[in-house]
Every structure is written in C-alpha cells, then in structure tokens.
Amino acid sequence: MKILNQYNLMLVAGLFFFATSVFSVSAQVSRDQIEKIQRALQIIDFAYIDETDQEQLVEHAIRGMLKELDPHSVYLSADELRRANEPLQGSFDGIGIQFQIISDTIVVISPIPGGPSEKVGILAGDKIVVIDGESSTGSQVNNQMVQEKLRGRRGSQVDVGIFRRGASDILDFTITRDRIPIHSVDAAFMATPEIGYIKINRFSRTTMREFREAVDQLKNKGMQDLILDLNNNSGGFLDVAIDLTDQFLDRDQLIVYTEGHASPRQEFNSTSRGSFKQGKLVVLINEGSASASEILSGAIQDWDRGLLVGRRTFGKGLVQRPFELPDGSAIRLTTARYHTPTGRSIQKPYDEGTDKYFNDLSDRLKNGELVSMANISFPDSLKYFTKNNQRVVYGGGGIMPDFFVPVDTTRISTFYSRVLRRGILNTFCIAYTNENRLVFNERYFDAGQFVKHFDVDDNLLQRFFEYADEQGVNSPQIGADESEIYLRNQIKGLIARNLFDFGAYIQVSVQMDDSYNKALEILRDNTFSHLSIKYN
C-alpha cells in the first residue's frame, strides 16, 4: 500500500489542530476527526479504481467542508488568492491595456495612460493577433488566456503583433511589463454646478486616497451636494468601508458592529475627520451592491444622514477573515455578522443551500421585485427605526432604499440586444473614433466639453445602421426602434470612452439612468427638509 503524501496529511491535520488551539475545540474530538480523515484518504489512495491526485483530494475536502458552513466561507489556492487580491490591493503587473474580445480577437479599447503599452505606441482599436510568436486569435481566446499571456512579472517582456487599420503589415512591439494601477473610483464629475457625482466600484486599499482626491477636485469646482454611486459595488475591505462612511458622519456615531461565536462584539465609531460632513448626500444602490456597500448605506440611512435611491441591496452581512495555509493558499472563513447602527442584520437567509442563495437575484426578477416595490414584503419583526427621525427601515436581507427605482425593462429591443451581444456597437465606435480622433482632439479639450457639446445626429446613427446591416443584423429605420434613445446614448458613451477614459463613458451613460435622475430630482427639491434629513 502506498503511503499518502505526508505533506497533504500534515495540511489537513494542521487545519484541525489550528482550530483546536484557536477555538478551544475538544482535543479528543479533534484527534478522532483527524484520524477519520486520514483513514478516508488512505482508503481512497489504496482502493480507488483509478490513480488519484492526492493534493486535489485535500483541496476538494477543504472546499466541501466550507461549502457546508455558509455561502461566503471559501478556500482559495495560492493562484486564486493572488488573483482575488489584485483588485483590492489596487494594482497588478501587466502591459496596461483595457481590452475586449470581439469575434475571437483581442481588441485594445484603450491603453492605460502612462502605462507600458502607451509608451511603445499601442493605440485604441489595435488588434493583438500575435503574442510571443504564436497566434492570439480564434476559439482559444478568452479572458483567462489573455491574462496568462499578457500579465507577468514586472520588468519582463512580451512581444506582440498588432493589426492596425490602415497599416499594410502586422506591426511588431516589445512591451516591458510594469505595475498597473486598478482604480476603485470609476468616475468623478460635476452633474450640475452644485452637485457632484462619484462612482466607486470596490472598497480597496486605494479607495480612500482616490475618494479624497475626487472630493477635493469637485469642491474646487463648486460642489455642495453629492451623489455617491455604489451600484454593483460588491464590497471589499471592512476597514475601508468604515473609513469611507466616516467621511460623512458626525463624531462618535456608530458605523457598524460585528459579532460572532468566537468574535466578541466590536463597535466602530466615526471620528471628527472627514471630507464631506456637510452637504446633501444621496447614495445609489441596487441588487449588485453588497457587503461594504451595505455597511455604508445602512449607516447613512440609520443616522438620517442621507437618502438611498435604487433597489434592495444583495444582502451580504457576513465578515470573512483570511487564514493562511502552509502552501500559500488560504481559507476565507466567516467569523462574524455585521449589524447596522440600529441593530439590523443585513444578511439574507442561506439555510436553503448555496444554490438557492446565489439564485436569489434571479428569483427577485421572476417575482417582480425589481420592477415593483409592491412585490417586496418585510414582516413587522424586522422593523427598525432610524436614530434621529424614527423613520421605518427593515432588516432581514439587504438594505431597502428610501426611494425605489424599478429596472427599466422597456429599453432593450431585439435590434439593440443583437448589436450589443455581437460586439457590433463597440467595434463601430472604436473604428469611428479612430477615424475622427484628430478632429475630436482639436474640438473637445476634455470629457466635460465632449459630453456637453457632442450629439449623435441622424447621419451618424444612419452610418451605424448601415454598418450593422453589413454585419448581418437588419437595421430599423431612424425613429422606428424603441431603443433608439438608448442606442444614441451608448454610441456617444463608447466614443467618449475611446477618446478619454471609462469615467467619460459613465458621465454619458448615467444621463439615461433612472436612479441618477431621481437623485438629481431629490437634491434639487425640498425632499431633505421634508424628511428632516441632516445635511448641515
């Protein structure tokens, strides 16, 4: 009989011994369970029909154990851990491009300003067709393949072949990889002469610096009130969520508290520091806003500091703590629940299993919750009252906004859906921008100028329709498609992105966003005074 790999046995045993020492598990029970696992692994190794990968078996065993606990306790291999941490740490090593895969081809949407690709002359619209001498087109092209080929150690080099419109031959470039920043603030601009807008996509190690810089810039432009967009922000670091919430609350106000079986209650309060203690505040949330986003939203609502606009948040009120394992992998273990200042637990139920838990969002759509507030019901047992004004709020599964905005299901026509899914809209906008880049650069000095003065007229729209026809999608007549107003907005937004950055795209696209427009309406009328919401 072969002896099971000693390292794997030590790894499994170490997990249980670690639990024994930290959580005071009975030593006798722990030894019994370790022996049971060891015996099971030995039996599999000895008697199973095929040869087994012992390291993989151990990983599957750990993943299986964690899956039985809750939906957010997970095992991450060393590589998975590195990739998961990159967005939160705020950087990675690579060549510095934003790209999309269109028709099995890597298309550069834009090189990151100051990054390695821009330095050697890579342009928006370039197609990467060769990487290190091998073809990079075809069915094998996916996001994972692109990352594996183009990311790498800082200082290392990669050779790429570029197909560029107007060039007769493939252009060869050698790019030296470097540290590439990942921004958590997607956009910051003045929505009106008095109202600023900031969109945050995650709570990372760079978020506070980016947020303070954005607030300072907007205040210098006259910002008095703020729209903070947390739509589809899935969370991040707990301490960053606390620091960001602290920017809005008065001193010594409870932001959040955490509590678990082995984690005594810990409270986190606001300080006197903060960049936006005064001024009206509206926070945009939706079903994709989770975890850290819900901490901030819950505190703002509970203290009557601002108003929430949108739809009920995801409902993740569990705190994960990382525990490193000897081989560089880690367990992210749920150790506590977090509660808003009024005591609300925002965690939605997960007692019906992981699949049911993660299907909750599709269930909300089927049940009509995303289109009508009348389809949402909260029992009186989950009723709470805000700290200052005693307004009714609810716990038990996500943060419910103060103003509900339904999903707009009318804007997606068949034509609009097809040109989006097939990448036709994006490809057209890249080509059109590149053809007219010099003219655009002379006419529009910054994104604000472009957003204010550029319109997608009938001539440009007709040109797009003709392009779609060439790609095999029959186009409607101008004025005949119910999605035309959104199509014009998307064309303008994608041109803005190709000219400037993703923030310019957001500045255009939010003009058609019902939650954004509702926020503007609230900030312009006397809603804050009517509801006694504190802002000065």
**CA atoms of 13 and 5, how far apart (whole Å):** 13
Where helices occur in 90-206 by DSSP H, the ranges are: 116-120, 143-150
Burial, 238: exposed, middle or buried (Cβ in 10 Å; 0-12, 13-18, 19+)?
Answer: buried
Alpha carbons within 13 A on the beta-carbon side of 210: 20
Q: Give the pairing of strands 127-131 and 134-135.
A: antiparallel
Instruction: Give the bridge partners for 263, in sequence order.
Output: 260
How much is the pLDDT for 26?
Answer: 46
> Other CB atoms closer than 10 Å to residue 359's CB: what's the count?
13
| 104 Ramachandran zone, left/alpha/beta (phi>0; psi -120 to 50) | left
Query: What are the respective helix, strand and coil percentages of the chain, to the nearest 5?
Result: 40, 20, 40
The pTM of this model reads 0.84
Catalytic residues: 291, 302, 316
Burial, 84: exposed, middle or buried (Cβ in 10 Å; 0-12, 13-18, 19+)?
Answer: middle
Domains and CATH numbers, the chain: 6-68 (no CATH), 91-181 (2.30.42.10), 185-325+336-404 (3.90.226.10), 414-518 (no CATH)
Task: Select from 337, 329, 334 the least CA-distant residue to 75.
Answer: 329
Burial, 446: exposed, middle or buried (Cβ in 10 Å; 0-12, 13-18, 19+)?
Answer: exposed
Are 166 and 486 in contact by the 8 Å Cβ rule? The answer is: no
> Other CB atoms closer than 10 Å to residue 244's CB: what's the count?
25
**CA atoms of 517 and 511, how far apart (whole Å):** 7
Q: Give the pairing of strands 225-229 and 281-285.
A: parallel
**Tokens coding 45:** 């190794």
Residue with tokens 């955490």: 258
Are 58 and 12 in contact by the 8 Å Cβ rule? The answer is: yes
**Tokens coding 467:** 């392009």
Element spanning 161, H or E: strand 157-163
Task: Tell me the pLDDT of the chain (536 aa) as tens digits.
Answer: 333 444 444 444 444 444 434 444 444 557 888 888 889 888 998 898 998 888 888 888 888 889 889 989 989 988 888 877 777 777 788 998 888 787 788 988 778 777 889 888 888 778 999 999 999 998 888 888 888 899 888 899 999 999 987 788 899 999 999 988 888 999 999 999 999 999 999 999 999 999 999 999 999 999 999 999 999 999 999 999 999 999 999 999 999 999 998 889 999 999 999 999 999 999 999 999 999 999 999 999 999 999 999 999 999 999 898 899 988 999 999 999 999 999 999 898 888 887 788 888 888 888 898 988 888 877 777 889 999 999 999 887 899 999 999 988 777 788 998 888 788 898 899 889 989 999 999 999 999 999 999 999 999 999 999 999 999 999 999 988 888 999 999 999 999 998 998 899 999 999 999 999 999 999 999 899 888 898 86
Amino acid symbol at 208: M
**CA atoms of 495 and 50, how far apart (whole Å):** 56
Q: Give the pairing of strands 195-200 and 225-229.
A: parallel
**Tokens coding 436:** 């007219």
**CA atoms of 247 and 272, how far apart (whole Å):** 9
Q: Which residues contact 315 (CB under 8 A, 6 or more apart)?
A: 290, 294, 346, 347, 348, 360, 397, 398
How much is the pLDDT for 29?
Answer: 57
**Tokens coding 200:** 């945050």
Q: What are phi and psi of 331, to 5 degrees?
A: -110, 125
Where helices occur in 151-261 by DSSP H, the ranges are: 207-220, 238-246
Are 246 and 255 in contact by the 8 Å Cβ rule? The answer is: yes
How much is the pLDDT for 473?
Answer: 93
